[in-house]
Amino acid sequence: MSVEKICVIGLGYIGLPTAAIFASRKKQVVGVDINPRTVDIINRGAVHIVEPGLELLVHAVITQGYLRATTTVEPAQAFLIAVPTPFKDNHEPDLSYIRAAVETLAPALKKRDLVILESTSPVGTTERMAQWLARARPDLTFPATHGEASDIRIAHCPERVLPGHVLRELVSNDRIIGGLTPACSAAAAQLYQTFVEGQCLVTDARTAEMCKLTENSFRDVNIAFANELSMICAQLRINPWELIRLANHHPRVNILQPGPGVGGHCIAVDPWFIVSQTPELARLIRTAREVNEYKPQWVIQQVKLALATLLLKRTDLQAGSVRIACYGLAFKADIDDLRESPALGIARQLGKELGVKLLLVEPNIEGLPADMAMHALTDTTDALERAQIHVVLVRHREFMSMPALRDGLLVIDAAGVLEA
Query: Any idea which residues carry the catalytic annotation?
Result: 212, 266
Q: Confirm if 153 and 129 have CB atoms less than 8 A apart.
A: no
Amino acid letter for position 345: G
Q: Confirm if 48 and 336 have CB atoms less than 8 A apart.
A: no
Amino acid letter for position 210: M
Length of the chain: 420
CB atoms within 10 A of CB 340: 19
Helix, strand, coil percentages, rounded to 5, for the chain: 45, 15, 40
What is the strand order of the sheet 114-117 is part of? 67-70, 28-32, 5-9, 78-81, 114-117, 153-156, 175-179, 200-204
List, in sequence order, every beta strand (DSSP E) within 163-261: 175-179, 200-204
Bridge partners of 175, per DSSP, are 200
Query: Does an H or E element contain 63, and which?
Result: helix 54-64
Give the integer Cα–Cα distance in Å for 289 and 284. 9
Of residues 28, 31, 26, the one with CA closest to residue 11: 31
Cα 43 to Cα 65, 174, 269, 289, 336: the distances in Å are 10, 30, 31, 39, 21
